[in-house]
């Protein structure tokens, strides 16, 4: 049951309702067990945080930073801060020193809570460059402090500052005086195209977004929710606050790399994720199918085909499947599909919200075919996450991002840009008046930068307007559309389309190196190292063949004509990826300028039709060559 209490008292009100029921859990890596935290304990620690912040002299609407990976302490600090009307600013756990310095100085932060050794080291090195920064508060007691550090304290020491003052009259007054238009958070965007901006999120925005999401999602106190995305990401943050408001149990996954293990240990009913996660699941399952014996392979293929017919062709469209299909699906649902879901850790699945990028249609179809209720959606930091999402009981279309949630208005501007207005839309960017005026017009419409259209009540995204490329021939190319179609190929890990002001489309590709090496060995292709393998002509012909098969539905001018395989993946260290793993195109274009130019030495692209035939040396030879699988 939804609790709409303000965040200053939410945890305490839930503790009155649920008491010793588990509010959240986390893995103890030393004992390798999941440790439960009751609502009563949650409330107790939050009160201590509030009292300690007051003891430190934290002012109303003062900015505090949390620089950590997902930990229960992140939530303790959030809600403890709300109890004294302070503002929390989460930093991505992988943030660089320059990013930390920028955010601390921009928000004039005095206190930074840090997670583990990496975050402590970065924050401590930043202190001389941050005039306002006074103290670091360290969550992990195993962090080794710098010998010259005389100001940092561990979290347990911090809690002692307010010990015995949890019922302080000032605390009660501040919690009671929280205003809906108070800032709750400032979330700094990851900046794919320019400098990072702090999006201001108020308590009203969260309050109204939570009510709107509650109206369309089947979330409740019996749900167990695995936290996978960083709390810094508005998707996970707003989603977690919704879960806590519903009385659901959070399972806080500390290390993103452990998510598959956590899924099998926690058996969650819900987990929000980005399409990249499901692309990896899809690729993993396809690889398992390939490695299965013929009987198992046939059963898995048949189960997914029946699942597609039942779930995608009938249930998602609001149609009643015929009796024969219902019987076949019931058989596979209890056998093959049940085993598949149990292997992945999804056997208790309720629903899995997915947003943050375009979902490749073949991946979305696969997830639904496997009987997993993926809820596709669309949102932004500026909209407190959800703008639209799939709804149970209403038709859903593969490729759509669902239906508009309550409290929002939507219209289309120039170039079909999606414009939004409502109480869950930000008032602007922190101390960035010019950027605010550029994003929000005089009538209060927020310009998303995303183009789309409505069809039968469902929202479809077509492209990111700023990412639209115009070829030198005057044709417009939507790179994300092409990339989402091609990235499902088993040999492609990452892909960046090149086309702006060029005569034809090309692509930089980070291949799946292990699969590529395996292919080379099976086809007796010699290579000395990864770079040599990526340059190999036969390997490039093989991948172009697969790409051409996938892009037949594209117009001729949209089709990739040349590719370059990169010997190492894009990375945050080189500035090519944001903290949310989105590609920074300008940086990639700069870092690989020579490779890009080499693809355009000859102005005339090869004829696509000539790529349809593989050289004899690359014929199937047991590989199957199932494109996209």
Look up residue 146 and give its DSSP letter: P
Tell me the percentage of the chain whose pLDDT exceeds 90. Answer: 77
Q: How far is CA 405 from CA 280, 395, 410, 428, 445, in A?
A: 29, 15, 10, 21, 17
Q: What is the three-state SS of 209-242?
A: HHHHHHCCCCCCCCCEEEECCCCCCHHHHHHHHH
Kindly tell me if the per-residue pLDDT of 621 is higher than 50: no
Look up residue 144 and give its DSSP letter: P
d(CA 547, CA 363): 17
The structural domains of the chain, ordered by start, are 10-178+231-239 (3.40.50.980), 273-372 (no CATH), 468-618 (3.30.300.30)
Considering the entire predicted model, what is its pTM?
Answer: 0.85
Tell me the average pLDDT across 474-482. Answer: 81
Query: In the prediction, which pLDDT does 309 show?
Result: 97
User: pLDDT digit string (tens) for 404-415?
Assistant: 999 999 999 998
Nearest to 393, CA basis, from 385, 384, 401, 402: 402
Q: Which residue has the higher pLDDT, 86 or 161?
A: 86
Assign 560 a pLDDT band (cuts: 50, 70, 90).
Answer: very high
User: pLDDT digit string (tens) for 571-611?
Assistant: 988 989 887 778 888 899 999 999 999 999 876 665 554 54
User: pLDDT digit string (tens) for 125-149?
Assistant: 999 999 999 999 999 999 999 999 9
Look up residue 129 and give its DSSP letter: G
237: Cβ contacts below 8 Å, ≥ 6 apart: 90, 185, 187, 231, 385
Tell me the average pLDDT across 230-248. Answer: 97
Kindly tell me if the per-residue pLDDT of 71 is higher than 70: yes
Tokens representing residue 13 in the block: 């009100």
Tokens representing residue 499 in the block: 């086309």
Query: In the prediction, which pLDDT does 582 show?
Result: 82
d(CA 547, CA 488): 10
Count each helix (H run) and each strand (E run) in the chain, helices first: 22, 24
- Cβ–Cβ < 8 Å for 218, 392: yes
User: pLDDT digit string (tens) for 250-294?
Assistant: 999 999 889 999 999 999 999 999 998 999 899 889 888 988 999
Query: In the prediction, which pLDDT does 624 show?
Result: 39
Tokens representing residue 144 in the block: 């080794």
**β strands within 101-197, DSSP E:** 111-114, 135-138, 153-154, 183-188
Query: In the prediction, which pLDDT does 484 show?
Result: 87
Beta-bridge partner residues of 409: 421
Query: In the prediction, which pLDDT does 604 show?
Result: 62
Query: In the prediction, which pLDDT does 230 show?
Result: 94
Q: Which of 92-101, 182-191, 203-212, 283-292 has the highest mean pLDDT?
A: 203-212
Kindly tell me if the per-residue pLDDT of 390 is higher than 70: yes
Kindly tell me if the per-residue pLDDT of 357 is higher than 60: yes
Assign 519 a pLDDT band (cuts: 50, 70, 90).
Answer: very high
Tokens representing residue 567 in the block: 């010997």
**Which element (helix H / strand E) includes 203?**
helix 203-214
d(CA 393, CA 332): 23
d(CA 225, CA 239): 10
Query: In the prediction, which pLDDT does 625 show?
Result: 37
Kindly tell me if the per-residue pLDDT of 615 is higher than 60: no
- Terminus-to-terminus CA distance in the chain, angstroms? 42
Assign 6 a pLDDT band (cuts: 50, 70, 90).
Answer: very high
In degrees and rounded to multiples of 5, residue 572 shows phi and psi of -70, -35
Tokens representing residue 522 in the block: 């099976």
- Cβ–Cβ < 8 Å for 136, 122: no
Query: In the prediction, which pLDDT does 629 show?
Result: 40
Tokens representing residue 404 in the block: 């508009």
Tell me the average pLDDT across 103-120. Answer: 97
């Amino acid at each position: 049951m939804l609790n709409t209490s303000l965040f200053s008292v939410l945890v305490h009100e839930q503790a009155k309702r649920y008491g010793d029921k588990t509010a959240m859990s986390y893995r103890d890596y030393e004992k390798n067990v999941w440790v439960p935290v009751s609502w009563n304990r949650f409330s107790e620690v939050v009160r201590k945080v509030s009292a300690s912040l007051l003891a430190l002299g934290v002012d109303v609407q003062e900015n505090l930073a949390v620089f950590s990976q997902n930990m229960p302490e992140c939530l303790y600090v959030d809600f403890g801060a709300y109890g004294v009307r302070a503002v929390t600013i989460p930093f991505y756990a992988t943030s660089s020193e320059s990013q930390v310095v920028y955010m601390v100085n921009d928000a004039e932060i005095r206190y930074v809570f840090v997670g583990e050794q990496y975050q402590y080291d970065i924050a401590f090195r930043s202190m001389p460059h941050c005039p306002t920064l006074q103290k670091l508060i360290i969550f992990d007691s195993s962090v080794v402090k710098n010998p010259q550090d005389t100001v940092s304290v561990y979290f347990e020491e911090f809690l002692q500052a307010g010990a015995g003052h949890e019922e302080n009259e000032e605390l009660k007054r501040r919690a009671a005086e929280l205003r809906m238009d108070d800032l709750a958070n400032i979330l700094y965007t990851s900046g794919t195209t320019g400098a990072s901006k702090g999006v201001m999120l108020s308590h009203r925005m969260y309050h109204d977004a939570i009510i709107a999401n509650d109206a369309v999602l089947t979330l409740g106190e019996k749900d167990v929710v695995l936290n996978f995305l960083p709390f810094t990401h508005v998707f996970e943050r707003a989603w977690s606050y919704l879960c806590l408001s519903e009385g659901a149990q959070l399972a806080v996954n500390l290390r993103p790399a452990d998510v598959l293990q956590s899924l099998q240990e926690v058996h969650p009913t819900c987990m929000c994720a980005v399409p990249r996660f499901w692309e990896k699941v899809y690729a993993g399952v396809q690889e398992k199918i390939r490695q299965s014996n013929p009987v198992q392979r046939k059963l898995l293929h048949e189960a997914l085909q029946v699942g597609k017919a039942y779930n995608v062709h009938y249930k998602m469209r609001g149609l009643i499947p015929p009796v024969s299909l219902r019987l076949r699906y019931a058989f596979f649902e209890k056998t093959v599909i049940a085993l598949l879901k149990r292997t992945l850790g999804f056997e208790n699945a309720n629903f899995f919200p997915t947003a943050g990028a375009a979902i490749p249609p073949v991946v979305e179809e696969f997830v639904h075919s496997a009987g997993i209720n993926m809820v596709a959606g669309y949102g932004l930091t500026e909209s407190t996450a959800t703008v639209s999402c799939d709804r149970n009981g209403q038709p859903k279309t593969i490729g759509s991002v669902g239906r508009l949630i309550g409290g929002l208005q939507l219209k289309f501007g120039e170039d079909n840009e999606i414009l939004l207005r409502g109480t869950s839309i930000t008032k602007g960017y922190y101390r960035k008046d010019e950027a605010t005026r550029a994003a929000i017009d005089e009538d209060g419409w927020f310009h998303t930068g995303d183009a789309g259209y409505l069809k039968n009540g469902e929202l479809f995204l077509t492209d990111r307007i700023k990412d639209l490329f115009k070829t030198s021939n005057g044709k417009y190319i939507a790179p994300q559309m092409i990339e989402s179609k091609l990235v499902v190929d088993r040999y492609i890990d990452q892909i960046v389309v090149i086309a702006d002001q060029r005569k034809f489309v090309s692509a930089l590709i980070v291949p799946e190196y292990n699969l590529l090496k395996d292919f080379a060995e099976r086809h007796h292709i010699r290579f000395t190292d990864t770079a040599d393998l990526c340059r190999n002509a036969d390997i490039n012909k093989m991948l172009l063949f697969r790409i051409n098969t996938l892009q037949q539905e594209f117009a001729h001018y949209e089709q990739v004509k040349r590719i370059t395989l990169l010997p190492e993946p894009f990375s945050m260290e080189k500035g090519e990826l944001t903290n949310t793993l989105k590609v920074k195109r300008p940086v990639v274009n700069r870092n690989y300028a020579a490779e890009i130019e080499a693809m355009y030495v000859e102005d005339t692209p090869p004829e696509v039709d000539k790529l349809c035939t593989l050289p004899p040396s690359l014929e199937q030879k047991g590989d199957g060559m199932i494109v996209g699988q």
